[in-house]
Amino acid sequence: MPRDNITDVLSAPARLYHPGGSALPNDSILSRDDAQALIERIKQFSRADAVEVQIFGGYATNVRFADNQMSTAGGVGDFQVGVQSYFGAKHAVVTTNELTDEALRRAVEKSETLARLAPDDPESMPQLPPQQYQPVEAYFPSVADMSAEARARIALTALEPCRSAGDLTAAGFLQNNAFFTAFGSSTGLFAYHRGTSSNYTVTVRTTDGTGSGWGGAEHNDAGQVDFAAVSRRAIEKARASQKPVAIEPGRYTVIMEPQAVGDLCQLIGFYADARATDEGRSPFVKQGGGTKVGEKIVDERINLYADPFDPMVRAQPFDGDGLPLGRQEFVRNGVLETLYYSRFWAKKKGVQPTGAPTSFLMRGGSASVEDMIKSTPRGILVTRLWYLREVDPRTILYTGLTRDGTFLIENGKVSRAVKNFRFNDSPLFMLNNLETLGRPERLAGTEAGGAVVVPAIKVRDFNFTSLSDAI
Amino acid sequence: MTTRRDFLKTGSVAAGAVALSSSLPGALHGTEAMVPRVRHVATAPEMDAVVKELLMEALNAAKLAGASYADARIGRYLQNFVVTREQQIINVVDTDSIGIGVRALVDGTWGFAASRDLTKAGVAAAAREAAAIAKANGVARDRRITLAPAPAVPNASWKNAYEIDPWTIPVEEKADLLIRSNAAGLKAANVKYVFSALFFRKQERNYANTDGSVIAQTIVQTAIQQQFTAVSPDFSDFQNRGNTIQPVGRGWEWVLQKQLAENAVAWGEEASAKLKAKPVEVGRYDLVLHPSHLWLTIHESIAHPTELDRAMGYEANYAGTSFVAPPADFLGKFTYGPAFMNVQGDRSQPGALATVGYDDEGVAPDEFLIVKEGKVNDYQTTREQASWLDWWYKSQGKAVRSHGCSYADNWSSVQFQRMPNVSLMPGEKEQSYEDLIAATDRGIAIVGDGSFSIDQQRYNAQFGGQLFYEIRGGKIVGMLKDVAYQIRTPEFWNSMDMIGGKQSYEVWGSFFDGKGQPGQVNAVSHGSVPARFRNVNVINTGRTA
């Protein structure tokens, strides 16, 4: 970019929505009507055969603390406009975060220039006609309006008890997000969603270096998060996990708290792609060709689904193509119900596209973690997992480690803290070895991200392959 | 599900948490002579007067609001992706983001605010917000933050090693190159699918602080992502070959040098050969690790644990802590590896990803040995952290100064300690990867990075790779598959008994290294020589679904 573009921006007229010049709290969240007006304005600049516009705005605030003191804290407002122009089978995307007419016109023109030069995309799909969306109420002022001092006081729910204990150090993070997203195209399609989320996680370590515990919670409504309880849980886990002993790696009955279940089971969704399966490169390929749709792939008590309307999720009810999302079962009673179909692949195969889910849920049972422990003669209790990475895409075999509270269960009781394990196992193998389902919880984020609601589970023969000295 | 076509995110299709890269040992040398015609001679930037005025406005507003120190960054962050599969385009994406980030220190506590509003009123509002957040945090303050001194740099400019700005290359030229390369890869037996992408970043960074520094820098980075997939005719197996080329701090000239269409035939054949490779027998083997593989082991087991903020518990709630802690127990004392092992931190190697003229606190980075003759010698630091080690630097007769490792991945992100280039330095004896294989009786040679996972203190790690070769009697006798090795970091590095010389040194790296909350991405390079490790535990990762 030539340097004078910056001066163009600086000398441009006042911004569309902030004549006062402030881009701070809530200025980045457009109402439905304002978002639609902005999309219409951008569409007027278009000379392409078709155009899609996606806009996103958000204001995110955070507080971070570590080593029993505050580290960084901030507030960030941003806005992004993405324009995708189409000429026949050619298309290209340009994004900008500038909202002057001049900058928007430039972005549209640039996407048109790039699209004209791009090779044909034989999989380019026509724009969707206008769709009906059922709105999701996900925006809560408890998050959007929380003050900087209120955020710092949440940090104190961990810092104060750890400082006064003398043998504990706390590290944690509170992130509040308020955002909106809107999508529109030249067919008149328009989709809008806005939401908030408050996410709080704490790790407490004992100063002798032998114990570490974790707690976390997330909700769209900060009023539904018990921040002090999260801090207390991390402290209790830290104390209970002190001075772990080494026990032999091998296959164990394992009770996984929901955080660990989410990290592993969410992976199944990432591999459930119809096209990759039809092409012979997914875990759901049948020997000799074809797919495992209709076959039992895991224990019959397992149900995996997406549902943006679930009150524990409140996720965006449309995907990046503007397809409405509803409740969709991927695994029902252990049977693979469907794979993910993009619009292109669905058309090619003569089926309905599924839309790209914005949530992942696993139906639970009624057992508490305590119930599961009571019924276990010998097993391992896992608080959370860490650094999950694919080892073999043919089986969803992943490796990773336990972290922040791993315990031995003997004769129905937690008997002692044990050293962390590395595992090499697949969620498909694991869900075939199911013993008990617990109660579903909204997770405070997984390694892969997204809105995830899963229960604790108890499984047989989970494969721990080595010990780790990490605390 | 990963296959969603969220059109603004197309560029992340192959962007896992860390890593790209690798190539044929033979293809790694000697292409420097292929300098393309120069279309545009890139020069170091001069800071725009209006930008400078806005930076000063922000700093003044922060000071008036009570900041004892503040810095401001106005940056323009551009990305360009061209994504293809087989013989077709998937998408073309161009992103552009501009704004200001202000950091203010008030009564020893940080506050940060960022805004895309580049008016005088807008940048002043962001500065006041940063100071207000810092003040509000006073209720939870324990110790005051102090900064190590750094000389003011009043009028500096710098650019990295790129020669041809990728934004001057038409999209059809980029797409055509990928599609020709894909076609070459598809010629190999059983290779049915090829994914490829070009990913360019350009950062125009303008920086000023209340110490008097004013710095303009332009940085261009280039990544070439490829995956060749071979599917067995009876659908019983599929194998991928990826991470073929390292990402770099260079421009379009790098893409031309790598000769994608010419080299893709071999990459496709490697994917195909993996279908016929022999499953590894579990056991202990001597490993000969190529630089295209070893860079990632260095990254995970040396570079991350010697980040000083991590060692002091600042990343405990996310990325974890470090076994190389507390520093007083390790500096000058702990034996990381053999006496010929030297590991350097720097931001100066031309074309490396972490290379800059000045960091995001206005510090000119220096070169420093993290491991010196096998012993822990230093940590990666920022101005806030350097004074934590003042006792050590004084005992060594060194100045207490930041190593220049402060970095923010965007104008909207707060700067913190990020990894410089961390490299395993060459040995004195001039020996090659092939020499190491010839000296090995029973072992496995590994090329390219694959699966990787390490615990939150960086002890227990497991690594896969791209290509595995069985070594018998000093010779490669065939290809293996389903190989992963498990290590405990100190034992692993102390089992290293041979390393290559200067001629065998190569720089690889990652375009996507994650750290921090909220998460930020850093691009970092790791130079390495090939090295041999004795008696390492190898597992077989193959199962049937």
> Which residue ranges form the domains of chain B, and what is each CATH number?
20-276 (3.30.2290.10), 279-540 (no CATH)
Nearest-CA distance from B26 to chain A in Å? 27
- A332, containing H or E segment: strand A328-332
CA Rg value for chain B = 24
Phi/psi class of residue B320: alpha, beta or left (left: φ > 0; alpha: ψ in -120 to 50)?
Answer: left
DSSP state of B303: I
CB contact under 8 A, A114 and B171: yes
Contact B39, B168 (CB under 8 A): yes
Which residues of chain A neighbour B141 with C-beta distances below 8 Å?
Answer: 69-70
Give the span between the Cα atoms of A457 and A449, in whole angstroms.
Answer: 20
Which residues of chain B neighbour A424 with C-beta distances below 8 Å?
Answer: 462, 539, 541
Interface membership of B300 toward A (CB under 8 Å) = no
CB contact under 8 A, B235 and A3: no
Written as one string, the DSSP assignment of A88-139 is TTEEEEEEES--SHHHHHHHHHHHHHHHHHSPP-TT--PPPPP-------B-
- A161, containing H or E segment: helix A148-165
Q: At what angle do helices A101-117 and B171-185 cross, to 10 degrees?
A: 40
Give CA torsion, residues B330, B335, B340, B341, to 10 deg. -60
The pLDDT, as a whole number, for residue B545 is 53
CATH 3.30.2290.10 in chain A is located at: 4-235
Specify the range with the lowest mean pLDDT, choosing from B29-38, B120-129, B524-533.
B29-38
Which residues of chain B neighbour A7 with C-beta distances below 8 Å?
Answer: 48, 50
Interface membership of B56 toward A (CB under 8 Å) = no
SS3 B85: strand
Bridge-based pairing state of the strands A304-306 and A359-362: antiparallel
Which residues of chain A neighbour B413 with C-beta distances below 8 Å?
Answer: 76
CB contact under 8 A, B323 and A269: no
The pLDDT, as a whole number, for residue A59 is 93
Give the span between the Cα atoms of B84 and B112, in whole angstroms.
Answer: 39
Specify the range with the lowest mean pLDDT, choosing from A127-136, A336-345, B26-35, B477-486.
B26-35
- B512, containing H or E segment: strand B506-515
> What's the first-to-final CA gap in chain A, in angstroms?
48
Give the span between the Cα atoms of B446 and B292, in whole angstroms.
Answer: 9
Reading the block at residue B475, the tokens are: 């010779």
The pLDDT, as a whole number, for residue A447 is 84
pLDDT in tens, B365-406: 999 999 999 999 999 999 999 999 999 999 999 999 999 999
Burial label, A208 (beta-carbon count in 10 A; 0-12, 13-18, 19+): exposed
CB contact under 8 A, B317 and A120: no
- Digitized pLDDT (tens) for each residue of chain A, 471 residues in all: 222 222 232 222 222 233 333 334 456 899 999 999 999 999 999 999 999 999 999 999 999 999 999 999 999 998 999 999 999 999 999 999 999 999 999 999 999 999 999 999 999 999 999 999 999 999 999 999 999 999 999 999 999 999 999 999 999 999 999 999 999 999 999 999 999 999 999 999 999 999 999 999 999 999 999 999 999 999 999 999 999 999 999 999 999 999 999 999 999 999 999 999 999 999 999 988 899 999 999 999 999 999 999 999 999 999 999 999 999 999 999 999 999 999 999 999 999 999 999 999 999 999 999 999 999 999 999 999 999 999 999 999 999 999 999 999 999 999 999 999 999 999 999 999 999 999 999 999 888 888 899 999 999 999 999 999 999
Q: Which residues sit opposite B164 in a β-bridge?
A: none
SS3 A252: strand
The pLDDT, as a whole number, for residue B481 is 96
- Across the range B202-213, mean pLDDT stands at 98
Which residues of chain B neighbour A171 with C-beta distances below 8 Å?
Answer: 313-317
Closest residue in chain B to residue A273, using alpha carbons only? B3
Nearest-CA distance from B50 to chain A in Å? 7
CB contact under 8 A, B486 and A465: yes
Contact B109, B137 (CB under 8 A): yes
| In the predicted structure, residue B1 carries a pLDDT above the cut 80 | no
Nearest-CA distance from A71 to chain B in Å? 7
Contact B46, B157 (CB under 8 A): yes
Which residues of chain A neighbour B109 with C-beta distances below 8 Å?
Answer: 70
List Cβ neighbours of A141 (8 Å cut-off, separation of 6 or more): none
The pLDDT, as a whole number, for residue B203 is 97
Distance of CA B423 to the CA centre of its chain: 11
Tally of CB atoms within 10 A around B210: 18
Of B105, B107, B78, the residue nearest B93 (C-alpha): B78
Contact A236, A222 (CB under 8 A): no
The pLDDT, as a whole number, for residue B543 is 79
Give the span between the Cα atoms of A87 and A92, in whole angstroms.
Answer: 9
Nearest-CA distance from A413 to chain B in Å? 27
Of A327, A322, A352, the residue nearest A340 (C-alpha): A352
Give the span between the Cα atoms of A194 and A137, in whole angstroms.
Answer: 8
A4-235 — its CATH code? 3.30.2290.10
Residue type, B420: P
Nearest-CA distance from B27 to chain A in Å? 27
Closest residue in chain B to residue A322, using alpha carbons only? B6
From the list A96, A163, A273, which residue is nearest B142 (CB)? A163
Interface A-B, measured as beta-carbon pairs within 8 A, has a size of 376
φ, ψ (nearest 5 deg) of residue B242: -140, -165
Cα distances (Å, whole numbers) of residue B501 to A57, A104, B211, B472: 52, 54, 43, 23
Compute the C-alpha angle A330/A333/A337, nearest 5°: 30
Peptide bond into A161 cis (omega under 30): no
Give the span between the Cα atoms of B465 and B396, in whole angstroms.
Answer: 40
- Across the range B102-129, mean pLDDT stands at 96
**Beta strand residue intervals within A33-89, DSSP E:** 50-66, 69-87
The pTM (predicted TM-score) of the whole model is 0.92
